[in-house]
Amino acid sequence: MLRLGRREFGTHEPVIMAIVNRTPDSFYDQGATFRDEPALARVEQAVAEGAAIIDIGGVKAGPGEEVTAEEEARRTVGFVAEVRRRFPDVVISVDTWRHEVGEAVCEAGADLLNDAWGGVDPRLAEVAARYGVGLVCTHAGGAEPRTRPHRVAYDDVMADILRVTVGLAERAVELGVPRESVLIDPGHDFGKNTRHSLEATRRLGEMTATGWPVLVSLSNKDFVGETLDKPVKERVLGTLATTAVSAWLGAQVYRVHEVAETRQVLDMVASIAGHRAPAVARRGLA
């Protein structure tokens, strides 16, 4: 059982985490949800299309203009509070690596801290424990926040992913983070080249076999673009193919831009796997 905020999710229940970037320079939407009104409209649409989690980020992952902790908090804290007011049952996640921001958004009503940079600030897990919120434990290959990988190498990329993510998850539980609210994430593209991310996907079953719920953040990433030689705006089909494979291998939470399309893919895979009944079953029966 995965428990986040007011929600509980069964073992075979796929969960969509919709991305809402409060940044003017995000790689995919180029600041489309930087202002409050379009960002709130995005939340409303994502929830209507089947997202159970809203992931709010105040700093883009890649290199760019410096964003201080104060500015990151300015972009996210008030927005978290407003989403909490308007959508009391939605799970609110905040994508941050800084404990100061984590503390501020938890005070505002966040349910989950999405640490995409692999515990670079160890105090973030302490914040999650103190507030009793969830934590995403990600493999970033030891990379510093907002840096791109350069000639990174692993003897065995999945062995390193397991060592890091399971270690971070166990530490979080020891600190007091609820066991049922901790997820692990292979960190596609983070501290990895395209071949590493493809191998992480191919071997995702090794992560799900640990018993920790697995989150994957695949949406329109560079490993999809390089694999198919497609620019950012033409990576949806590759993303959905990778989503289907990840679902078959047991990932549970999917951080995405395209909510409705992802919902169909996840429902189809769940039905093929026997975890979900068809929405309609008339063929051959009438």
Residues tagged active-site: 221, 255
Among all chains, which residue has been given the structure tokens 């990433």? 221
Phi-psi region at 18: left, alpha or beta (left = phi > 0; alpha = psi -120 to 50):
beta
* 8 Å CB contact between 206 and 162: yes
Give helix 236-248 / helix 259-273 axis angle, nearest 10°.
Answer: 30
* Residue 113 token pair: 């801290």
CB atoms within 10 A of CB 282: 7
Beta-carbon-side half-sphere exposure of residue 21 (alpha carbons within 13 Å): 16
* 8 Å CB contact between 219 and 19: yes
Residues in the chain: 286
What one-character-per-residue DSSP string does 217-283 give?
Answer: E-TT-HHHHHHHT--GGG-HHHHHHHHHHHHHTT--EEEES-HHHHHHHHHHHHHHHTSS--S---T
Contact partners, residue 166, CB within 8 Å, separation at least 6: 184, 210, 212
